[in-house]
Structure 1
């Protein structure tokens, strides 16, 4: 018997990326593509000597805002070897709801035509008709515990009270490059069951590159299959309910470091803002002394497994 799949609405609910480009007129290009009245913010940092502003944990020469969504630029220095300007785009669901897939695709295509495209985050939301029971009330914790839901080690459930009633289930870790929220949604008085996928880094880059190349008519189906493809359930009576949700699946591979040494290096890179904060607080001399002391302590604490990692990395 052919499965009768649920109707659904698919949308991009967050989009964040950065671009390195030799072109200095990118802000105008972005605003033209979006067709929205972004206006320049003039508020400098409290302790700044110029008009530089803070966004995405970085300082930018210019930032433009529209309904709390931001775009910005860091100009390349007028002297020196660096010749690339850095742009960022950070669009919330409220703004993206005003954009059709054609504009989103044009924006991503623009970004990927430059020297370097850096995908930070993309959220994809799929809204289904309210189920019985609601999708958020399904026993996701038990499915993980029983080994029926593959790829997640944890499920966290929050019962919302106050102005926003309903239930929210979180699958996975917010710090990972794949994180799912399942919750009750009300849009203009219409109740829905929402499944929302948050992708970062490598997986986000995979989706953004695909969106720039797809036919417009294929985008909704692709995004739907990306979201539902992250729910991998073994065949069982307790998982049959998801057959009417999952029409297809797109597998997103995670980034695989070449060796465990690269995992350690990636860990340090992720904590670079913390290191920069310590450097700013301590000053260059004390920071260097602090790092040297920790390095000496670390060398004394190295175990056999650390030496094996070094040997394996050198062999590779």
Structure 2
């Protein structure tokens, strides 16, 4: 996200905002963006949903697709990930064994770690300079990385800034987000990060500091189960994703589309209708696209009928 006025007003201003109880208003002004999605990303989302709709030849399969939160992506043999590997177990655990809101936070933080780590490596690696702009593999790598970053930020925005929209599936997302931020703040307070003394790119330095933490012991064994923070669980996920090298970005972007479509199909129909009256959200347009393809729990396609029927009473 590019700097705006809030980034230059200083700590004193932020403390006043907190005291006046205007934090939520300030956050909505700061983190909302009207920048349109790129045509490439729209096409990517469209193709992902279209390819899944071709597999949904019966109601049961269509329902399984709408319930997928990344597990459908893992079934793809193109990744060459052994089911017995630590990588596969970690990815599967961060998709199937966690709640929806926890999954969003895990994958968002892991995306940030991978993105900043790659940014730092690219500046040092001559293999990613401007002369490689015409290299197909490099362009593909950058494209999926950008898709992952955009969708990751949008999904966190929905979870944190649109809680009423995602309340049907979000669980304790707000608490988990707060605890994760608190743990990150506590971790950084023990260093000079945020003080301007660390030098260089502070985001990159922060990521490297966290990734440098020994995570062989499960985080819950260290912090207990009172804190709902997922900071170091996301660190474990990021380290495993990095084993996929450049291929991680294609996998991550596909996981994000599944998380987006899961959100779209599980938000209440009335909420989607209200959003359309205000111009709509990306998640609502994905919901309509799923209706077009006849996938999701809120859509039915009768035999011999080419049109999807929307069940609005949910």
Larger RCO: 1 or 2 (CA < 8 Å, sep 6+): 2
Tell me the TM-score normalised to structure 2 length: 0.25
Q: Return the index of the structure with the highest Cα Rg.
A: 1
The structure with the greater share of residues assigned to helix is 2
Tell me the TM-score normalised to structure 1 length: 0.25
